[in-house]
Chains A and B, each alone.
Chain A
Amino acid sequence: MNCGFCGREIDITATPGPVEGEKSCGGCLGGCRKIHCPHCGYANPAPGKLLSRFLSKKNKG
């Protein structure tokens, strides 16, 4: 994904966030729902499980 602020590419597998092994940065109350850009620090929204499932279904379709 690309950062919504600086536009640079984020390697989501290497970034704290709700992906790949739930490497949460521990900042959010009630679980992590943000992907922090390693280049500028911007907090990008990470789609929840329901929305992700819907999006992946659409992509497959």
Chain B
Amino acid sequence: MSEPEKSSPKVVLVGNPNVGKSVVFNALTGAYTTVSNYPGTSVEVSRGHCSIADQRYEILDTPGMYSMMPITEEEAVARRILLNEDPHAVIHVVDARNIDRMLPMTLQLIEAGLPVILVVNILDEAKRLGMQLELELLQQHLGIPVIGAIMRRKIGLDQIRQAIVDYAMVPYTPFIYAVDLENDIDKLIRLLQGDYRLSRRAISILLMQKDDDIIQLVAECETAENYTQILEVVREISFRRRADLNLQISLERRKVCKQMLTGVVTQTIEDSEPFAEKLSRWMMNPVTGTPILLFVVYFGLFKFVGGFGAGTMVDFFEGHLFENYISPPIVGFAEQHITANWLFELLVGEYGVWTLGIRYAVALVLPIVGTFFLIFSVLEDTGYFPRLALLVDRLFKRIGLSGRAVIPMVLGFGCDTMATLVTRTLETKRERVIATMLLALAIPCSAQLGVILGLLSVEPRALMVWTVFLLLIFLLIGFLAGRVLPGASPVFYMEIPPLRCPQLRNVAVKTLTRMQSYFVEILPLFLFASVVLWAGKMTGTLENVINIFAPVVKLIGLPVEVTTAFVFGFFRRDFGAAGLYDLQTSGLLNLTQLTVAAVTLTLFVPCVAQFLVMIKERGIKTALFIFVFVTVMAFSSGWFLNKVLIVTGLLA
């Protein structure tokens, strides 16, 4: 490292996690930053440089910390930086919406004698919630520079840069706590003789709280005799206050914060709650949230994806463009010029790369997943999903999951393989196994869902049977799994982001990105599957496989031709659904058979990619067990549903 860098004054960024520290860091330093482990730890610290008024500063972004009394390794590192780096300025970034909860740490930093600049970030959201902040008054109360900011729009950045340059350390006036506490602090301050970077008052309080690092520091800075005496006093105070010391310190700080914030924060009392807040509350309340969920499912999935995507769009691409304009010249060309039967079959035959691979991917699946991803991105951008997580949390607890499991479940409607991978974020092994099994069994992926909705939406009764039956299977298996697998359901807690109007750009970028990723992933797989099926047809293997499955398929009341859709489904769920679409448009299935086939295919085995991820995430034994269980469950359910529909004549 060069000499000038060593001598650059240091500016340290501190604050709770997710208050925008990194945004301030990036805004100050630009692109030239380094990330390295803090010496002796595995905690990463980012360092960068910036020049303000011809002076070069080193900027350090510390891990999130909640208090000067560290609990986690990250917090310990953040405090060690404050202790060891001799900062020119310490920028404490707080979230304006939670200023009352974050200000106690500002008090601790000031109390420690550090050169603090307070940045009150996310002012726009606070204002939206009806909060008015008088930051000049807060500056007067605290005696340090206070800057209001909206860092994601770089508002306040110039003031921060100016405050760094102008920073002039002035002695602070201590915040006064209760008399008995002050007496104990004073006892220790009088005993401390060493040279410390933090104020003696801060050292005394941390000693009383039995902070190991500080005890070690005092041991190094004091004479042996003095250290023994200090420890004796600390022991006496800690014993006397053993029941309530930390609580009292915390309460005293809160009291001081309350005084500091008097007149600073005013909450505009609005006559009526903003509509977005009301809607947000309704979405999470089971009584109002369930009809909203049904509304979203009906119009978003059934009408838009099933009706528009799988109906209108597929009719246009497959029925009009491909059938009338694209396929005839290609098939005609092949008929004229290809004499070898095997090559003809490979390219444009029943399982040819054109007939199955490209046509399925482009004309059938892409329009459906496109519409699905569009509605998915709209819902994602509004902030509906975390509200859905809280809505279903209670129900999920009954099946051994928590609201957190909504994340893989929601992602499963996009792609079950990705969702299976995401189950690793669930807290307990029990939750991960249950979620993996439910994903493999009862969550259809986007294209499968779209095709099935498209096929069934022409007859609402069939759609209703499919929906209710799958929901029942999902709940029944989840409930049983929750009983069979031991363990408690973890508590689910999350901060709910504000409900917002979807942004056109966000929705467009997310939809196009997902479509691109999806298409790039499925096209080679579809082509590969069509080649395998072609090879199977040419060698007679496919016929043998179909013959093995045929009795089972017949047993659930379906024509033997449906077996091919199940074989397709093992390659990709959406490939199988597209196969079912072809069978239906050929007029091979009546309404009962179509519904039974749709249910069985939805429940049928996970595709190859999902199965591989299941092995990777859950191990071979669990993955194989789930595979066998799902296969048996799919055909048993199909058989049962077929019997029920025949006996009741519900779809006759």
Contact = CB atoms under 8 A, between A and B. Distances in A.
Nearest to B514: A45
Contacts of A34: 418
A28 B384 CA distance: 26
Interface stretch (B158-166, B241-249, B326-334, B493-501): B493-501
A38 B431 CA distance: 19
Contacts of B418: 27-28, 34, 43
Interface stretch (B17-25, B97-105, B218-226, B274-282): B17-25
Contacts of A40: 404, 407, 425, 494
Contact of A29 (B35, B422, B425, B521): B521
Contacts of A47: 509, 512-513
B386 A5 contact: yes
A41 B18 contact: no
Contacts of A53: none
Interface string A33-54: 1101001111101111011000
Given A14-B35, A39-B18, A51 B513 contact: yes
Nearest to A4: B380
Contacts of B383: 7
Interface in B482-500: 494-495, 497-498
A28 B414 CA distance: 14
Contacts of B18: 8-9, 39
Contact of B381 (A4, A14, A28, A36): A4
Contacts of A39: 18
A11 interface: yes
Contact of A48 (B381, B385, B417, B517): B517
A9 B24 CA distance: 12
Given A7-B498, A29-B521, A51 B407 contact: no
B401 to A, nearest CB: 14
A55 to B, nearest CB: 7
Interface string B386-402: 10000000000000000
Contact of B509 (A9, A13, A51): A51
A11 B46 CA distance: 11
A51 B510 CA distance: 10
Interface residues of B, number: 36
B516 interface: yes
Interface string B158-201: 00000000000000000000000000000000000000000000
A42 B521 CA distance: 20
B20 A9 contact: yes
Interface residues of A, number: 28
Interface string B595-637: 0000000000000010001000000000000000000000000
Nearest to B421: A27
Given A27-B421, A30-B520, A30-B521, A4 B494 contact: no
A16 to B, nearest CB: 12
Contact of B512 (A27, A42, A46, A51): A51
Given A13-B35, A39-B18, A51-B516, A45 B23 contact: no
A51 to B, nearest CB: 6
Nearest to B524: A30
Interface string B565-593: 00000000000000000000000000000
A40 B422 CA distance: 10
Contacts, number: 76
Contact of B510 (A27, A30, A45): A45
B607 to A, nearest CB: 11
B513 A42 contact: no
Contacts of B252: none
B44 interface: yes
B377 to A, nearest CB: 8
B531 interface: no
B417 A29 contact: yes
A42 B376 CA distance: 14
B69 interface: no
Contacts of A29: 417, 521, 609
A42 B414 CA distance: 13
Nearest to B23: A9
A48 B497 contact: no
B510 A7 contact: no
Nearest to A25: B421
Contacts of A42: 407, 411, 422
Contacts of B422: 36, 41-43
Contact of A6 (B23, B495, B516): B495
A9 B383 CA distance: 14
Contact of A9 (B22, B521, B524): B22
B407 A41 contact: yes
Contacts of A9: 18, 20, 22-23
Contacts of A13: 35
Nearest to B513: A45
Contacts of B514: 45
Contacts of B385: 4-5
29 contacts: A4-B380, A4-B510, A5-B385, A6-B386, A7-B383, A8-B18, A8-B495, A9-B22, A11-B22, A27-B421, A27-B613, A28-B521, A30-B520, A30-B524, A34-B418, A40-B425, A41-B407, A41-B424, A42-B407, A42-B422, A43-B411, A43-B418, A45-B510, A46-B513, A47-B512, A48-B513, A48-B516, A48-B517, A50-B516
Given A5-B380, A50-B516, 11 more contacts: A4-B381, A4-B510, A6-B386, A7-B497, A27-B613, A30-B524, A40-B407, A41-B407, A41-B424, A45-B514, A45-B517
Which 3 A/B pairs are nearest by Cβ-Cβ distance?
Answer: A7-B497, A41-B425, A45-B513
